[in-house]
């Protein structure tokens, strides 16, 4: 993983810790969409689509968002079907890649 990738992901989690300290455990989507600044570039944590890849980090998404009213069955558990995105998430665990979900 490139150094910039790791630095952005660590900065994102540090920013989230700060925001939770300010706003509490539940953060509004507008706060996540505003994001933070990293080396002069704005880094939003969410976008309209569920899987969000930054231009700054084109290889792997920074965040994955879901909603109960969404078009996909986002069920979890041993009997849930394994879709490609779930396989991708599980594979990232092996790489210790920080992904916001």
Q: What is the pLDDT of residues 19-37, one digit of tens each?
A: 999 999 888 989 999 999 9
Domain count, the chain: 1
Asked whether residue 69 is assigned to any structural domain, the reply reads yes
Mean pLDDT score, 34-56: 83
Asked whether residue 100 is assigned to any structural domain, the reply reads no
The pLDDT of residue 47 is 77
Q: Specify the pTM.
A: 0.66
Mention every residue, 6+ apart, whose C-beta is less than 8 A from residue 51: 61, 63, 64, 85
Q: Which residue has the higher pLDDT, 69 or 101?
A: 69
Mean pLDDT score, 64-90: 63
For residue 16, what are the domain limits?
A: 3-95
Residue holding tokens 């992901």?
Answer: 9
Asked whether residue 60 is assigned to any structural domain, the reply reads yes
Asked whether residue 11 is assigned to any structural domain, the reply reads yes
The pLDDT of residue 22 is 96
């Amino acid at each position: 993983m490139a150094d910039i990738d790791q630095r952005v992901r660590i900065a994102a989690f540090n920013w989230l810790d700060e925001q939770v300290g300010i706003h509490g455990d539940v953060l509004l989507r507008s706060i996540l969409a505003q994001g933070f600044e990293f080396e002069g570039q704005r880094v939003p944590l969410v976008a309209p689509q569920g899987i969000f890849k930054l231009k700054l980090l084109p290889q792997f998404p920074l965040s994955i968002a879901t909603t109960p009213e969404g078009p996909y069955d986002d069920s979890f558990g041993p009997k849930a079907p394994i879709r490609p995105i779930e396989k991708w998430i599980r594979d990232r665990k092996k790489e210790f890649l920080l992904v916001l979900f």
